[in-house]
Amino acid sequence: MNLNRRQFIGLSTAVSALAFAGVSGTKLFEAYAGTEQDDAWIPTHCKACAADNRCHLLVHRVNGVAVKIEGNSDSPTNQGRNCAKSAAALLTLYNPYRVKFPVKRTNPQKGRGIDPKWVEITWDEALNTIAAKLKKVRGEDPRKFVFMTGHAASLNIDTDREFAEVFGTPNVIVGATSMACGGSASPINKIVNGGGQARADMLYCKYFLNLGANSQQGGKGNSEEADAFVNARSRGLKVVNVTPILSPSLAKTDEWVPIIPGTTGYFLLAMINVIVNELKVYDKEFLIKRTNAVYLVGEDGLYLRTNDKLKDHVRGLELGNPLVWDRSDNRAKAFDDPSLNEASLEGAFEIDGKKYRTTFEVLKEHVKEYTPEKGKEITGISPETVRRLAKEWVEEALIGKTITIDGVIYPYRPVAIIAEQGAKCHVDNYMVVHAAKILAELVGATDVPGSAKAAGSPTISINPVDGVNISEEFIYKPLKKNPERISLQDHSPIPGSSSGLAWLTMQDPKAYGFDYTPEVLGIWGGNPQALLGDFEQINKIFKDFPFTFAISYEFDEPTEFADIVLPESSWLERYGLTSFVPKTSFTEVFKTKGNYGWALQQPVLPKPLYNTKEGNQIILELSEKLGILNGKNGLLARLNESVGVREPFLLDLEKKYTWEEIIDLLCKSKTGGEKDLDWFKKNGLVTYDAFTIQKYYGYTKYPKARIPLYLEEFASHRVQLKKELEEKGIIRKPNNEFVLKQFTPLPFWEPHPEHKAAKEYDLYCINYKNMQHHFACNVGNAWLMEMTSEQDPYALNVMINRVTASKRGLKDGDRIEITSFIGGKVQGKVKTTNLIHTDVLGIAGAYGPHSANMNPEVKIGTAFADLLKLSEDLINPLKISLDRDLKVKIRKI
Amino acid sequence: MTVQNIWHGLVIWYLFLAGTGAGVYLLAVGNKMFRKQDALVKMGYIWGPILVALGTILLLLDLGRPFWAFLAVLRPHASMISVGTLILTFFMLNGFFQIYSLLFKKKEPPHALDIIGFILAIGTATYTGLLLGVVEAIPFWNKPILLPILFLVSALSSGIGFLLLVSILNKNSKEETKSNLHRMMKFDIWLILIELALLILLLWLSARGNPAAAASVQILTSGFFALPFWGLLIVTGLLLPLVLETLVRSHKQSILALCSIALLIGGVTLRYSIVVAGVWLPMSK
Amino acid sequence: MARYGMIIDLRRCVGCYACVMACKAENLTPKGVSWNRLIVEEKGEYPKARMTFTPVLCNHCENPPCRDVCPTGATYKRSDGIVAVNQSKCIGCKYCMVACPYQARSIHEKSEGYFSKYGLTPLEQHGYKKHKKGAPSKCVFCYERVEQSKEPACVAACPTRARIFGDVTNPNSEISHLLEKNKTFRFIEELGTKPAVSYILDQAPKTERG
């Protein structure tokens, strides 16, 4: 039999389809002949993690094959370097376990690890089937369509919300991120530092108090931040980690203070107590001028205000200006009264027969109960250590010292505190982050050289009524009587960005008061089974949808519940455009190469390796089929507002675009028409000198900003919310008091659910990050997994303290079963270590995926998430952040 | 510290077969050369080269690129593998010529070939020890004098075991052959005692040497290879034949068979023990 | 003639595995073969314990035991000091693997690639041309890159610039400066191998480095 090349390719496609259906031993790639003659380096930005696409790469292509990924030395961020995840992305591209063409299931049975028995279908069949189902629910009630997205690394999700909006559903929900991750700190970071993420200013910092994963490495693990961190250490930075585990990202430390999981809040409050009530050392000038520490509050916790009726849009009320006590005049004055001479930082005052105190005074009283002595039992940290650290903190802060940078004098406060994942993924997550911010504010170490500050240039807006910074996410929104959003976000005055409660409501929408039941689930990223756990409940939700489609790169667990899967191109086959500014320090490189720029993400092969499309392209095509692409209410009209195209490059509402064409318009918009897509394709990135160092520090960019020490809006919100809940008859689970309690102007600490677990659960179990597998989407990469299983002694095992292990007769390699206090069970292999608290087990990352059609060689390790359960009393109701620390018992098997 | 896992199975059996082949040849031809006894010589001519050839086949099978094996002779001035390849090749060529004369020409092979073969057989038995003995990276092996001698002594002992086995399996064994073999067994008492002494010396030197060498000793005495080491090497391979050869007067077939099997097990296990317990110098600072 | 060497500053190594993966990607080494490894260990007792990282690779010894034991001359030393392997001359006896005190060599004896069920990917078809089944291989200091005046892949990728590569005979090279200014150590020097890879201890005093 003689085959010409065309027939041969056709045949092997057919054969590979068979291979897909389970016929093994077939060579998928025999069609590859490598006939194209080329040798090119293609610039693109990285998407191997969610480090804000800051790493710029060059991909070497030889004869049509991408053969190497390197850092782009033009980049001021990664400066030619690249991490393991980006280098390994070649196998993300050439992964034969990807979704390679549209498929539909032939096995009606859905469940964990059950093979859906996919068969190939055409794009037309796939899109038409999905469009028909969507049209039907859109006609009935568009809210019945729930669109689950992720923000994970491997995805370019730019059109999800716009699509949902023009479709008419409020139900865009997150798979897991934000609920399981550090997004939980962003509103506090915004209100204090003016940016969703906070970082220590690594150029000037000398003392870094780190809680949880190291934001410089473990958080994102990107080249630029790790480099800034080791540079800071070589300049004498002292690093103190207060964590239950000294995980890989924390290896470079000068001191390790092991702490019992979930007690960081107590530790911080005890530190604050020692500083304000024992040491009495703080940056008075900063507190008086740059915070709301001097504002007066009454017994009800609310500001004492002037009698004006000004519109306060944060609280949704008409209010006067807050008052402060002028100690020279001995009377209260508006905070911005020009005659104000010397505001009192401390003290209680009687005004009109009522007692008022400064918020600082309230803080002093509030933290008194958090004694280091009582803390010993709670945190496991000795009172001496707390006192020593508090002393170090105020001493290293160099209160009163200044530094001159580019001719401008700044306070020099080279101490930074950051609460990262681990420390803040708890029921009290806001409070931990808030307490860390208070500790920084006490010594004036906020947004000045050497302190924690916004990652990048800050953006702050100030409430004109009280003069204090605003966080968009803290603006009060009145509640709807009956919930519409499946995530119950309309049953919270500050719904935040996390829609994770959908995983509870969808179990039984009627019980939560919904007058509709979701019928179509769209999946575009997100992996709740791998990160939130409770797979039985979540899988049941997935199963109960009459129709599910997925836009997916791989057959992860959510995708395996789909009826139709649309193959999404790998991130090396997609378009995107992302900006960058200095993030963690304003280094010389940014001064010479430019401190603001745009970088292109582009396909590195002439056409996708398989029959795949970009997710955004799929959304455009699906919209067209649904008839919601064009017109003034169409998707293009929404994209004109959201993606950042500007006149004269706006999308023509009556035209059809490819995603590539939209990116071209975006390129032109962002560069004032100077550079188009073709220019970016060749050059990769453009940099500008856009701002000075004064605009990099909040201290100089917003000299009028007042940082809240005391979140008065929470006290106000609590009053309003209580009223609304009662009036509208809304009952939040587990109970309204649980929700209301979290609206607290000052952080408190009380035992978490895990601390109250039954005695037999005698160990804690925590989840930590490692750098090579940061983000669950990298677990499927065969190179990374081979390296991890051969070289990382910890990642795929369960870490247990050596002393604890020997007490329990455990040694390296023993298999144990772990049962969590909420009923989850996993098995794992013991790795004894000195790097973990004696009462704690440590499990890394999001290993051990369960889906049937993933590469069997990556389905190893222990799945921490399988220990978790979802219930309202484990979830912070303000930010919908899941408490991911557990109490467990173990058994040798 | 890392235990070497590069050389195992096939290489170990090669070391054993080449050693035993060389031992068989040395005993049989030596018996003729020094004691003018011809009873065993035919067995030596035939089995010596055959065992070495079998070992060589295993060695070839262990090569990553066996078809290029002929290149192995290029660096005899530096590499023990080149030296060994040459010794093996010449020993086998010499042996096959001797077999050819004996079986097809029906005449005694020239005496000079006996001397050459004898020297090459010593080379074969000692070189297998030297192969390991020159590896400085693995201190337990790195005994370039002790290891070759130990391997030579062990080769002779397992040679005796093998000759015994052949004579038992051969129903037509002559009385003269048997009496020669009984004498060999008395000789073997000394071999076993020397082997034990050398082994103790090896362990003693290693235990007080580099930590890596000490780790090797630990592997054998109480680690993952302790059971084969004590059970198969010390008890079965050395003490049992020693007891049988010194205390038991009977030359019953079953006793001889037991003794021969025990000697062969000892020969294999000795090489297994030394090879698998190889630990690299540690890379820590 | 240049003599190439490398310094690994363990004070700067954060154990991110970028070097390991850069090496894998640059050399497209087959499954099971890793020329560049990270040794992760622990020092000290709880709670003063620390995790330590030691990246290891071929030391390009001045007196390489792997070359000495090679029966065919497949392993040889280039005039620039790089120890290289001519795989077509190799018979796969693995003596070099045993003899290398740094365990820097690895071998692939099967060539199925990373996805045995699917055959070799186009990437592997491209990359495995360089690798002969059954022949041990090791780091070659990326001499093809070095010949094009580029740094070895692991050096170029290292996010924290913990690796410095250069000509130790050139007194003006960064590596020469670093060797002069810092206390360095090399592994298993007692065998007289004279490795070309030196390390700066993590506990070494902090000195600013550009």
Residue B45 belongs to domain with CATH number: 1.20.1630.10
State residue A19's pLDDT score. 37
Task: Report the chain C residue with the minimal C-alpha distance to residue B85.
Answer: C71
State residue A714's pLDDT score. 96
Domain total in chain B: 1
Check pLDDT > 70 for residue A235: yes
Tell me, what's the ipTM?
A: 0.96
| Chain B closest-CA separation from residue C172 CA (Å) | 29
285 residues of chain B, pLDDT tens digit each:
899 999 999 999 999 999 999 999 999 998 888 888 877 888 899 999 999 999 999 999 999 999 999 999 999 999 999 999 999 999 999 999 999 988 888 888 888 999 999 999 999 999 999 999 999 999 999 999 999 999 999 999 999 999 999 988 887 778 888 888 888 888 999 999 999 999 999 999 999 988 999 999 999 999 999 999 999 999 999 999 999 998 877 778 888 999 999 999 999 999 999 999 999 999 876
Question: How many CB atoms sit inside 10 A of residue A271's CB?
Answer: 28
In terms of DSSP H, where are the helices of A759-848?
A: 782-791, 802-807
Is it true that the peptide bond before A734 is cis, omega within 30 degrees of 0? yes
| Mean of the per-residue pLDDT values of chain C | 93
Sort A495 into a burial class: Cβ within 10 Å, 0-12 / 13-18 / 19+: buried
Q: Find where tokens 């921490």 sit.
A: A864
- Mutation choice for C interface testing from B2, B6, B67, B73 by most C CBs within 10 A: B6
The number of residues in chain B equals 285
- Mutation choice for A interface testing from C34, C39, C115 by most A CBs within 10 A: C115
State residue A18's pLDDT score. 36
Longest dimension (CA), chain C: 53
Residue numbers in B near C135 (CB within 8 A): 64-65
Q: Which of A292-306, A327-341, B247-261 has the lowest average pLDDT? A: B247-261
Kindly indicate the confidence band of residue A10, based on its pLDDT and cuts at 50, 70 and 90: very low
Tell whether B3 is covered by a domain: no
Within its chain, how far is the Cα of A270 from the centroid? 28
Residue numbers in B near C201 (CB within 8 A): 285
Nearest to A874 by CA among A862, A859, A864, A884: A884
Check pLDDT > 50 for residue A507: yes
pLDDT digits (tens, 9 = 90+) for A791-802: 999 999 999 999
Kindly indicate the confidence band of residue A497, based on its pLDDT and cuts at 50, 70 and 90: low
- Paired with C137 in beta bridges are C106
Question: How far is it, in rounded angstroms, from Cα A493 to Cα B146?
Answer: 83
Residue numbers in C near A218 (CB within 8 A): none
Kindly indicate the confidence band of residue A31, based on its pLDDT and cuts at 50, 70 and 90: very low
State residue A17's pLDDT score. 37
State residue A3's pLDDT score. 38
Contact B28, B35 (CB under 8 A): no
Task: State the DSSP H helix or E strand holding residue A718, giving kind and residue range, or none if neither.
Answer: helix A712-728
Of B62, B65, B74, the CB nearest to C71: B74
Share of chain A above pLDDT 90, in %: 81
Most confident of A13-22, A405-414, B251-260: A405-414
Contact A698, A194 (CB under 8 A): yes
pLDDT digits (tens, 9 = 90+) for A436-476: 999 999 999 999 999 999 988 999 999 999 999 999 989 99
pLDDT digits (tens, 9 = 90+) for A748-788: 999 999 999 999 999 999 999 888 888 777 889 999 999 99
State residue A35's pLDDT score. 54
State residue C80's pLDDT score. 95
Task: Report the chain A residue with the minimal C-alpha distance to residue C46.
Answer: A834
State residue B172's pLDDT score. 79
**Non-local CB neighbours of B243 within 8 Å, separated by 6+ positions:** none
Contacts with C, A 764-783, CB within 8 Å = 771-772, 782-783
Say which DSSP state A697 is in: S
C99/B281 touch (CB, cutoff 8 Å), yes or no: no
- Paired with A840 in beta bridges are A764
Check pLDDT > 60 for residue C94: yes
Tell whether B281 is covered by a domain: no
C92/B63 touch (CB, cutoff 8 Å), yes or no: yes
Residue numbers in C near A92 (CB within 8 A): none
State residue A258's pLDDT score. 97
Contacts with B, C 184-203, CB within 8 Å = 185, 187-188, 191, 199, 201
Nearest to A865 by CA among A533, A539, A425: A533
State residue B198's pLDDT score. 97
pLDDT digits (tens, 9 = 90+) for A99-136: 999 999 999 999 999 999 999 999 999 999 999 999 99
Q: C-alpha angle with apex B20: B18 to B23, nearest 5 degrees?
A: 110
Q: Find where tokens 């979540």 sit.
A: A538
Contact C179, C7 (CB under 8 A): yes
Q: Which of A14-23, B184-193, C58-67, C159-168 has the lowest average pLDDT? A: A14-23
Q: Which domain holds residue B160?
A: 9-276
State residue A24's pLDDT score. 37
Check pLDDT > 60 for residue A735: yes
Q: Find where tokens 């899988």 sit.
A: A539
| Chain B closest-CA separation from residue C100 CA (Å) | 6
Check pLDDT > 70 for residue A8: no
pLDDT digits (tens, 9 = 90+) for A823-839: 999 999 999 999 999 99
State residue B285's pLDDT score. 64
Q: How many CB pairs under 8 A join B and C?
A: 110
Tell whether B222 is covered by a domain: yes
Q: How far is CA C118 from CA A92, A95, A96, A648, C95, in A?
A: 15, 10, 7, 49, 33
- Mutation choice for C interface testing from B136, B142, B147, B280 by most C CBs within 10 A: B136
Residue C177: strand, helix, or coil: helix
C134/B281 touch (CB, cutoff 8 Å), yes or no: no
| Average pLDDT, integer, range A699-721 | 96
| Average pLDDT, integer, range C42-53 | 93
| Average pLDDT, integer, range C122-137 | 93
Question: How far is it, in rounded angstroms, from Cα A443 to Cα A290?
Answer: 12
pLDDT digits (tens, 9 = 90+) for A526-541: 899 988 889 999 999 9
Tell whether B203 is covered by a domain: yes
User: What is chain B's Cα-based Rg?
Assistant: 19
Residue A82 tokens read as 């690249």
Tell whether B264 is covered by a domain: yes
Contact A53, A599 (CB under 8 A): yes
Kindly indicate the confidence band of residue C1, based on its pLDDT and cuts at 50, 70 and 90: confident
Q: C-alpha angle with apex A652: A647 to A653, nearest 5 degrees?
A: 120
